[in-house]
Amino acid sequence: MPRNPQLNKNGELIHLLSTEGLPRDILTHILDTASSFVSVSDREVKKVPLLRGKSVFNLFFENSTRTRTTFDIAATRLSADVYTLDIARSSTAKGESLLDTIANLSAMAADIFVVRHSESGAPYLIAQHVAPHVHVVNAGDGRHAHPTQGLLDMYTIRHYKKDFSKLSVAIVGDVLHSRVARSDIHALTTLGCPDVRVVGPRTLVPSDLSHLGVRVCHTLEEGIKDCDVVITLRLQNERMSGALLPSSQEYFKSFGLTTERLRWAKPDAIVMHPGPINRGVEIESAVVDGPQSVILPQVTFGIAVRMAVLGIVAGNEA
Amino acid sequence: MPRNPQLNKNGELIHLLSTEGLPRDILTHILDTASSFVSVSDREVKKVPLLRGKSVFNLFFENSTRTRTTFDIAATRLSADVYTLDIARSSTAKGESLLDTIANLSAMAADIFVVRHSESGAPYLIAQHVAPHVHVVNAGDGRHAHPTQGLLDMYTIRHYKKDFSKLSVAIVGDVLHSRVARSDIHALTTLGCPDVRVVGPRTLVPSDLSHLGVRVCHTLEEGIKDCDVVITLRLQNERMSGALLPSSQEYFKSFGLTTERLRWAKPDAIVMHPGPINRGVEIESAVVDGPQSVILPQVTFGIAVRMAVLGIVAGNEA
Amino acid sequence: MPRNPQLNKNGELIHLLSTEGLPRDILTHILDTASSFVSVSDREVKKVPLLRGKSVFNLFFENSTRTRTTFDIAATRLSADVYTLDIARSSTAKGESLLDTIANLSAMAADIFVVRHSESGAPYLIAQHVAPHVHVVNAGDGRHAHPTQGLLDMYTIRHYKKDFSKLSVAIVGDVLHSRVARSDIHALTTLGCPDVRVVGPRTLVPSDLSHLGVRVCHTLEEGIKDCDVVITLRLQNERMSGALLPSSQEYFKSFGLTTERLRWAKPDAIVMHPGPINRGVEIESAVVDGPQSVILPQVTFGIAVRMAVLGIVAGNEA
């Protein structure tokens, strides 16, 4: 069996590519480290010198201003130098291969590549080809994984619910196409969450997802009944009409999270969303802005989690 | 009467949204503070640590490389970390609302938002919704206000003319559509300037502008006669033909500032322009580059004024 | 005879516009200085404070993510503040002239302009108009010059071959349209290289190039026979079909560098390429990744050479 490409031979994290296959102690170590970084953003001077003089490259082959900004902030608060490449206009567009681009940037003494790519597996390919002191952090690859989102979700759940071992967590929406859902599921099961449910219409939540160790539910009531955490997913515009869904209104009618429906969950259930939100499509505004919503704390914890990931991988060698 | 949203209950500046409604002592305090920052840009190391570790977000919903760059420089020379969001490509484009974008960035521990928006009032809306320790600086909203341009114009006038109480100031051009003109007028009247004139054709300078406390002039000679300061405005391309103006040549024939016509003003009158200049449209090259032009000093003072504004608001709480 | 615009009256480098006309001791001084910067990128903290608080403006009127990034890295590792202007969207697009843009940025207290422009000579024009303490570095102008690429090529050759006085260097490809070739040729001849050859079809390497002091060769065998260094040039897409070349396959058949053909050169010949590479067009993958390739070290040395250039010009006054 090949070694986990995310770990060195001492079992330390050198790349973050997926929450799948990461041992529980690594996940816990990231969350614990993030915990120490949450307060940095509250300080007068929101910086620590951990990555001073390191070169972090943001390589967003697929556009995402929001996620890119969170990594930019995280790296900057660790005092790294951040370089954002406008990939659409760069040599890759001139026909240079992904690996030639990486080889070139590595020759400029890059320390960390933060990579978003529309192709599942692109960050793995990069990780296989970098020098031992260079690190890769996956910021979302195709439908495959979005591990820092998964980790910030875990941080948020642990913050509000403390112990994973007694929780019921429902993930509602387009689970089939969601890298967030996949990263959440792997992290939750590794952290010992006994009841993970995926909830949505058959076109977006096919029954064979159960092989991931989750319960598949095709009604919202069954899906969020008595659960502690409801994670709503963003409904991508391209799914809102056509073969997979009749319309966004139809979706909202059956699976949109409203204040009323939220009563099916436990009274102290928290509501999460990776953003950006389509108000009135996957979730009602009253819930977004309501007392059970922890959507903005997720964003705050996201900075700390990304600081933790960058700090941890930078400290280890292949 | 509601409290001025730019001031806290101690009357201190927490947001800069408009020069309108700002008391004279606040305006003077900004100019005095700017004065202490002018020399920073002449130093070997052009930096002061005032905003070290603060997060300044440039949110330019309407594009302006020039103004964005001046804020970037001002914040960087105060040692802040500056994040520029490519709004056109961001979540707002994905349908997220302005206030959701702001809430998200606030959750990332933003300290200051520098906002340019094509809708008048957008920065006010934002200011109403941010936490007490977060500040908003208007970098231009619709036709409404461009207060840092207004303030740098005041700085320039004070630098060359010392005392506002005896000055005649003419603002020439498309006053109707100009947020710069509006910000200048409010600042000039508050600072005690007794004679402010707006000058241009009736289509661009309608008579009812006189309610702003200015004299409306429809010939250049009357407009700049014996004045101390001539502020020429940029003629936007979209006005140069069609309903409001026959052509840019026609405009220049009647209102273009030439060396010859400048003799109508006082011999020591200064000539200003917010840039970028259309040479040969609103102003002749010989005047731009001539001895009475203070257009480049305006740019230099603009950095200092923006440093002052950022520094002052960051020091106050709502 | 007018003074070399790159040097002050003490013969010190104040702008880097071209390798043409630079005396040998200046070239050698740049390479020696670069040598001291190579190790900076290997440090834990990859920074030196040489340009702390200086403002470096990247003005790329012609897009180049790669070259822009190398200058960004070089300036950042010298601790400068780097501002990158999105020129395509800026005031220049609004009709402001190049010199007005420069005058404005100078008024914001710029220290160094790094300029790429599609017009040959644009950086010279800028250099003629800046204040004595402001410096211009040419990052590529039209077909004219790309001096930092030329210098990093010289650094690479010196690193591997030590002494220029006994070398044969072949430059293969579209020499006619290549600013890299031009900068290499001037630097090589000034540094005393006795045998510089330009190699390619008559349409891309006309005979009258011999006035540059080089030998013109129209077959690859003659061109690289027994040489110590083979510099392959990128074949621009726009040349690959039409009047100048029948097709990229045809070009590869005659001038593409393969492992087999490389045997015509000396056994220890090094192979260089400015990037980005068209694998299988101007050079075979096996050569790019082979033992004689020094293409990635070129990239590494490029950072050090650009640090040296920025550091040197910033230390001198006109």
Which of A47, A276, A279 is closest, CB to CB, to B53? A47
Plot region of B81 (φ>0 → left; ψ -120 to 50 → alpha; else → beta): beta
CA distance B270 to B295: 9
- With a pLDDT cut of 90, the percent of chain A lying above it is 85
Q: Does B63 touch chain C (CB under 8 A)?
A: yes
Residue B307 belongs to some domain of the structure: yes
Which of C72, C276, C303 is closest, CB to CB, to A109? C303
Of residues B201, B203, B167, the one with CA closest to residue B184: B167
Sort out which chain A residues have CB atoms less than 8 A from C299's CB and list them: 104, 107-108
Question: Given this model, what pLDDT does residue B247 score?
Answer: 84
| Eight-state DSSP code of residue C4 | P
- Report the residue of A60, A85, A108, A111 to disrupt the C interface, i.e. the one with the largest count of C CBs within 10 Å: A108
Decide: B167 and B197 in contact? Cβ < 8 Å: no
Q: Does C66 touch chain A (CB under 8 A)?
A: yes
Q: Does A47 touch chain B (CB under 8 A)?
A: yes
| Residue in C closest to B299 by C-alpha | C107
What three-state secondary structure class fits A282?
coil
Structural domain that includes position B130: 15-146+300-315
Residue A5 belongs to some domain of the structure: no
Same domain, B108 and B132: yes
Sort out which chain C residues have CB atoms less than 8 A from A53's CB and list them: 43-47
Residue A9 belongs to some domain of the structure: no
Decide: B79 and B48 in contact? Cβ < 8 Å: yes
| Residue in C closest to A105 by C-alpha | C299
Residues 6 or more apart whose CB falls under 8 angstroms from that of B212 comprise B182, B185, B186, B189, B198
Residue C5 belongs to some domain of the structure: no
Question: Given this model, what pLDDT does residue C249 score?
Answer: 87
Same domain, C175 and C256: yes
Q: What is the CATH number of the domain that holds A96?
A: 3.40.50.1370
Grade residue C36 by pLDDT with cuts at 50, 70 and 90.
very high
* pLDDT higher than threshold 60 for residue C103: yes
Q: Does B45 touch chain A (CB under 8 A)?
A: no
Residue B7 belongs to some domain of the structure: no
Q: Which residue pairs, CB below 8 angstroms and at least 24 apart, start in B34-39?
A: B34/B151, B34/B155, B34/B301, B34/B304, B34/B305, B34/B307, B34/B308, B35/B155, B35/B304, B36/B308, B37/B77, B37/B303, B37/B304, B37/B307, B37/B308, B37/B311, B38/B300, B38/B301, B38/B304
Provide mean pLDDT across the span C298-307.
98
Decide if C277 and A96 are in contact by the 8 Å CB cutoff: yes
Sort out which chain C residues have CB atoms less than 8 A from A85's CB and list them: 65, 69
Decide: C286 and C258 in contact? Cβ < 8 Å: yes
Of residues C281, C235, C284, the one with CA closest to residue C259: C284
Question: Given this model, what pLDDT does residue C56 score?
Answer: 98
Same domain, A86 and A44: yes
Decide: C183 and C191 in contact? Cβ < 8 Å: no
CA distance B135 to C277: 48
Query: Which chains form contacts with chain A, at 3 or more CB pairs under 8 Å?
Result: B, C
Same domain, B30 and B160: no
Which of A47, A63, A299 is closest, CB to CB, to B104? A299
Residues 6 or more apart whose CB falls under 8 angstroms from that of B183 comprise B18, B19, B20, B145, B146, B147, B149, B150, B151, B153
Same domain, A19 and A122: yes
Dihedrals phi, psi of B5, to nearest 5 degrees: -70, -10
Question: Given this model, what pLDDT does residue C90 score?
Answer: 63
| Eight-state DSSP code of residue C95 | T
| Residue in B closest to C98 by C-alpha | B276
Q: Does A88 touch chain C (CB under 8 A)?
A: no
- With a pLDDT cut of 90, the percent of chain C lying above it is 85
Q: Rounded to whole angstroms, what are the CA distances from C120 to B81, C82, C96, C145? A: 36, 24, 19, 8
Same domain, A140 and A151: no
Decide if C73 and A108 are in contact by the 8 Å CB cutoff: yes
DSSP B23-63: -HHHHHHHHHHHHHHHGGGGSSS----TTTT-EEEEEESS-
Same domain, C117 and C151: no
Question: Given this model, what pLDDT does residue C254 score?
Answer: 95
Same domain, C304 and C288: no
* H or E segment to which residue C180 belongs: helix C179-190
CA distance B96 to B154: 38
Q: Does A85 touch chain C (CB under 8 A)?
A: yes
* H or E segment to which residue C137 belongs: strand C135-141
- Residues of chain A scoring pLDDT < 70: 1-2, 88-95, 240-242
With vertex at residue B137, the alpha carbon angle to CA B134 and CA B141, rounded to the nearest 5 degrees, is 130
* pLDDT higher than threshold 60 for residue B93: no
Residue labelled with tokens 């130098």: A81
Residue C273 belongs to some domain of the structure: yes
Does the annotation place B149 within a ligand binding site? yes
| pLDDT one-digit tens code per residue, B211-235 | 999 999 999 999 999 999 999 999 9
Q: Rounded to whole angstroms, what are the CA distances from B215 to B206, B218, C109? A: 11, 10, 37
Q: How far is A289 from chain B (nearest CA, A)?
A: 10
For residue B301 the two structure tokens come to 């003072």
Burial of A48 (0-12, 13-18, 19+ CB in 10 A): middle
Same domain, C153 and C229: yes
Question: Given this model, what pLDDT does residue A30 score?
Answer: 98
Q: Does C46 touch chain B (CB under 8 A)?
A: no
| pLDDT one-digit tens code per residue, A147-168 | 999 999 999 999 999 999 999 9
- Report the residue of A78, A86, A104 to disrupt the C interface, i.e. the one with the largest count of C CBs within 10 Å: A104
Number of compact structural domains in chain B: 2
For residue B261 the two structure tokens come to 């016509």
Per the annotation, binding residues of C are 66-67, 94, 116, 146, 149, 179, 234, 275-276
DSSP A48-88: --TTTT-EEEEEESS--HHHHHHHHHHHHHTT-EEEEE-GG
Strand ranges of the sheet holding A168-172, from the earlier edge strand across to the other edge: A215-217, A195-199, A168-172, A229-232, A270-272
Same domain, A288 and A164: yes
| pLDDT one-digit tens code per residue, C168-206 | 999 999 999 999 999 999 999 999 999 999 999 999 999
Decide if B70 and C96 are in contact by the 8 Å CB cutoff: no
CA distance C74 to A244: 50
Same domain, C311 and C254: no
Does the annotation place A179 within a ligand binding site? yes
Give Rg (Cα) of chain C.
19
Same domain, B136 and B242: no
Residue C205 belongs to some domain of the structure: yes
Decide if A279 and B86 are in contact by the 8 Å CB cutoff: no
Decide if A108 and C69 are in contact by the 8 Å CB cutoff: yes
Q: Rounded to whole angstroms, what are the CA distances from C96 to B170, B234, B280, B297? A: 24, 11, 12, 18
Residues 6 or more apart whose CB falls under 8 angstroms from that of C230 comprise C170, C172, C224, C257, C262, C265, C269, C270, C271, C272
* pLDDT higher than threshold 70 for residue C277: yes
Question: Lowest-confidence range among A95-99, B53-57, B165-169, C291-295?
Answer: A95-99
Amino acid at B192: G
Amino acid at B17: L
Is 0.90 exceeded by the ipTM? yes
Query: Which chains form contacts with chain C, at 3 or more CB pairs under 8 Å?
Result: A, B
Residue C287 belongs to some domain of the structure: yes
Does residue C259 or residue C241 have the better pLDDT?
Answer: C259
pTM value is: 0.95
Q: Does A104 touch chain C (CB under 8 A)?
A: yes
